[in-house]
């Protein structure tokens, strides 16, 4: 017999191509045999070809996701960035950090000239001390006024006693009327002195309250000046890495001028835009897989932390925020590829060519199972299966085929139940047991 042409390289052929190639080779081979032999030899060759086991390609059933999750691209960013700005005017005396330096929360990173603010604080503190002295003087005057009240009360008591005694003597005729009247006048005068002294106490107490109010107000001024002076020290509000250094020592800083940018890289966020059609498959807290072009060998696990409520009115894309831990020193501005991990369970998936008769629409079908391990004596058994979703030339098998079973993915001609077959060199080997 004439040797059949060699097969194409395995790297350039898939299962469906192999199926078509195998059939064409058989046809060409028969034609060559028929045309180059005598009629008797050709008939014998055709009989031998007819009795030869059907060549098949065999696969091992395994689970996979029928439709892979789409991949979205985004850019890495720190979880938060803080802009450090001056709140007061002053010359920048020192800047203790540079771009790339790590800073801790509460660390002093810059110092402004505080001489003017220190002078203002000293003046406010001096005024506060003067007001406190005024309060002390007012309190002393209140004490003096209260002493006068006590003295006037004692004088009134004595005058009232003298008046009552003189009235008794007047009734007995022991003294003249004018003498008794004089003691009554003295009692009334003592009462007036007491009321005047009490009024003085009230007035002095009001003066104390007013002075204390001025002290409180001045204390607020002092506190404000102390706080303004504290602004001359720029203190890192978070722990992170210095992203930008925008001023240099000697610069005159105005209120609101940006001096540094500090970024928190403890976690990394990636913002991607997802079609509104895919939005129903994404939820907050969902796991994601992230790959960075800068680290192609690593796959990072993250989580959806925010789904923005508004989509782009033109493109209908919704921003999704993903956060991943940063234990590898990932920086900002890196290209990230995000895949949302679906909650759908994997199932047994086979190529469409494995279905006998090429059933394309029905939810049931037939696959041929290889029942014997020996390659030269392998047989196939037709088995009905229940089918599910289809995509990209593959079909989901819901029942009838177990993981690890060997099945025919393609054959040179239609198969029959129990037929002996010849396994091609493209056939998958079963996984070793144990």
User: If we measure between CA atoms, which residue out of 352, 355, 349, 360 comes closest to residue 398?
Assistant: 349
Whole-number Cα distances in Å, 235 to 3, 163, 416: 85, 78, 82
Residues 61-97 pLDDT 10s: 888 877 667 889 999 999 999 999 999 999 999 999 9
Unique residue bearing structure tokens 């940006």: 258
Q: How many residues does the chain have?
A: 434
322 Cβ contact list (under 8 Å, min separation 6) = 74, 269, 270, 271, 272, 288, 290, 302, 303, 304, 305, 338
What confidence score (pLDDT) does residue 342 get?
67
Average pLDDT over residues 335-364: 79
Q: How far is CA 300 from the centre of its chain?
A: 15
DSSP type of residue 255: T
Domain ranges, ordered by start, for the chain? 10-52, 57-68+345-423, 70-113+238-341, 116-230
User: If we measure between CA atoms, which residue out of 269, 271, 262 comes closest to residue 326?
Assistant: 269
Q: Are 428 and 59 in contact (CB under 8 A)?
A: yes
| Per-residue confidence band for 359, with pLDDT thresholds at 50, 70 and 90 | low
Average pLDDT over residues 162-189: 77
* Lowest-pLDDT range of 54-63, 178-187, 346-355: 178-187
* Lowest-pLDDT range of 184-193, 253-262, 304-313: 184-193
Which residues are 349's β-sheet partners? 396
- Distance in angstroms (rounded) separating the CA atoms of residues 113 and 94: 9
| Per-residue confidence band for 102, with pLDDT thresholds at 50, 70 and 90 | very high
* Lowest-pLDDT range of 40-44, 51-55, 74-78, 241-245: 40-44
* Lowest-pLDDT range of 1-10, 131-140, 297-306, 327-336: 1-10
- Distance in angstroms (rounded) separating the CA atoms of residues 375 and 379: 9
Token pair belonging to 245: 């250094």
Sign (positive/negative) of CA torsion 322, 327, 328, 330? positive
User: If we measure between CA atoms, which residue out of 239, 297, 294 comes closest to residue 270?
Assistant: 294
DSSP type of residue 374: -
What confidence score (pLDDT) does residue 358 get?
61
| Per-residue confidence band for 323, with pLDDT thresholds at 50, 70 and 90 | very high
Instruction: Tell me: pLDDT of 107 over 60.
Output: yes
* Lowest-pLDDT range of 32-36, 290-294, 393-397: 32-36
Which residues are 406's β-sheet partners? 60
Residues 109-127 pLDDT 10s: 999 999 999 999 999 999 9
What confidence score (pLDDT) does residue 340 get?
86
Q: Kindly report the CATH number that applies to the domain delimited by 70-113+238-341.
A: 2.40.30.170
The CATH class given to the 57-68+345-423 domain equals: mainly beta
| Per-residue confidence band for 188, with pLDDT thresholds at 50, 70 and 90 | confident
Q: Is 89 helix (H, G, I), strand (E, B) or coil?
A: coil
| Per-residue confidence band for 29, with pLDDT thresholds at 50, 70 and 90 | very low
Q: What percentage of the chain reaches a pLDDT higher than 90?
A: 38
Q: pLDDT higher for 14 or 413?
A: 413
């Amino acid at each position: 017999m004439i040797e059949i042409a060699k097969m194409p390289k395995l790297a350039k052929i898939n299962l469906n191509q192999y199926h078509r190639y195998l059939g064409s080779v058989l046809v060409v081979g028969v034609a060559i045999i028929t045309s180059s032999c005598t009629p008797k030899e050709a008939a014998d060759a055709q009989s031998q070809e007819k009795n030869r086991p059907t060549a098949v390609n065999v696969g091992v059933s395994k689970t996979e996701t029928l439709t892979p999750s789409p991949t979205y691209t985004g850019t890495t960013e720190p979880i938060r960035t803080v802009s450090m700005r001056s709140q007061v005017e002053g010359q920048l005396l020192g800047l203790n950090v540079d771009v790339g330096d790590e800073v801790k929360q509460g660390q002093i990173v810059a110092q402004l000239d505080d001489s003017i603010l220190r002078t203002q604080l000293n003046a406010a503190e001096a005024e506060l001390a003067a007001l406190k002295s005024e309060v002390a003087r007012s309190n002393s005057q209140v004490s003096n006024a209260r002493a006068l009240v006590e003295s006037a009360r004692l004088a009134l008591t004595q005058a009232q006693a003298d008046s009552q005694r003189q009235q008794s003597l007047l009734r007995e005729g022991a003294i003249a009327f004018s003498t008794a009247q004089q003691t009554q006048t003295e009692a009334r005068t003592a009462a007036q002195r007491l009321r005047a002294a009490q009024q003085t106490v009230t007035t002095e107490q009001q003066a104390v309250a007013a002075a204390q109010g001025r002290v409180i107000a001045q204390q607020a001024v002092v506190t404000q000046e102390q706080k303004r002076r504290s602004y001359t020290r720029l203190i890192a509000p978070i722990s992170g890495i210095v992203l930008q250094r925008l001023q240099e020592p000697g610069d005159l800083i105005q209120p609101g001028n940006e001096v540094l940018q500090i970024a928190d890289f403890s976690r990394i966020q990636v913002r991607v835009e997802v079609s509104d059609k895919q939005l129903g498959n994404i939820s907050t807290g969902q796991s994601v897989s992230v790959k960075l072009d800068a680290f192609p060998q690593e796959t990072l696990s993250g989580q959806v932390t925010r789904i923005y409520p508004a989509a782009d009115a033109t493109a209908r894309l919704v921003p999704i925020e993903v956060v991943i831990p940063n234990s590898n020193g990932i920086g900002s501005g890196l290209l990230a590829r995000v895949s949302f991990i679906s909650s759908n369970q994997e199932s047994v998936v086979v190529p469409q060519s494995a279905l006998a008769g090429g059933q394309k629409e029905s939810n049931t079908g037939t696959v041929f199972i290889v029942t014997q391990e020996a390659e030269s004596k392998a047989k196939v058994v037709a088995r009905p299966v229940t089918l599910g979703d289809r995509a990209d030339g593959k079909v989901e098998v819901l029942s009838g085929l177990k993981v690890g079973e060997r099945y025919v993915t393609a054959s040179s001609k239609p198969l029959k139940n129990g037929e002996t077959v010849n396994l091609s060199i493209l056939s998958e080997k079963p996984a070793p047991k144990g």
